[in-house]
Every structure is written in C-alpha cells, then in structure tokens.
Structure 1
Amino acid sequence: MTLTRTVLKAFGKTFIKNEDGATAIEYALMAALVGGVIVASVTTLGESADTKFGSLATTLDEAGGDTGSTGGEGGV
C-alpha cells in the first residue's frame, strides 16, 4: 500500500470510531426540541393572556362606563 492510502485508511477507521460528532448532533437536536417547546408554550400562554386581558378590559368598560377620557388629568 502507498503511504497516502495507509493514512486515509487509518483516518477512516478513526473517523468511524469517533462519536463526538454524533453526540454534538444529539445535543443540537435536543436544544432545537426544547426551543420549539418553549416557543409553542409562550405562544399559547400569550394568546390566553391576551384573551383574559381583553375580557377584563371589556368588563371594566361595562362596569365603569366609558367617560371618553384618557385618564391622567381628567380628560384635559
């Protein structure tokens, strides 16, 4: 065998046995999964909070009446 072929063969065996790349890919997939779950949760909670605050605003408007003022200085 030539020197180049021997070196490539040794490199190939080492590359196949090396699992660092597979571990890094697994961690990246787990991080992506966790990120996706976080985005989905925040989106769902945000929509729920928006609905609750909208309902609260409607209830307060109906209970207090809309005076047309913007608050603060009594409508000045």
Structure 2
Amino acid sequence: MLLDTVLKVYVPTEAFCVYQAKQLIKRTEGASGIEYAIIAGMCAVVIAAFMTPIADVIQTTFTKINTGLGGKAPTP
C-alpha cells in the first residue's frame, strides 16, 4: 500500500521534472537570465570592493560631526 502511494507520487513527479528539463533546454529566453546574473555578479564585486573605503569615510564624517557637536569620539 505504501509502495503504491509512493509510486503514485514519484512517477508523475519524475515525468514532470523530465518534461521541465526538456523545456528548459529548448528555451532561448535563458540568455537574458544569464545576462542578469552576470550584471548582478559585477554589482556584487563593485560593492564588495568599495564597501570598506566608503565605510571608513562615513565613520570619519560622523565622528567629525559628533566631535563638532561636543560629543566625544567613539572608541573603536
């Protein structure tokens, strides 16, 4: 009984996955997805490259503002 239930679920699921895989191979719209992935990767590299310098500038700016307002500079 359990085997019949598993087979009733497994066989249609496997057929669906095979069908979807074949459709994925036939699609030509996937090139746009790859282009978006490349752009997102490039943006991630740029953000990672500039994160530390930008963070340092922002920290320095807020420290100057805090000191100018009479506060004491935060300790790192």
Shorter-chain TM-score range: 0.3 to 0.5
| TM-score, scaled relative to structure 1 | 0.40
Per the normalisation by structure 2, the TM-score is: 0.40
The higher relative CO (CA closer than 8 Å, separation ≥ 6) is in: 2
* Structure 1 or 2: more helix by fraction: 2
Higher gyration radius (CA): 1
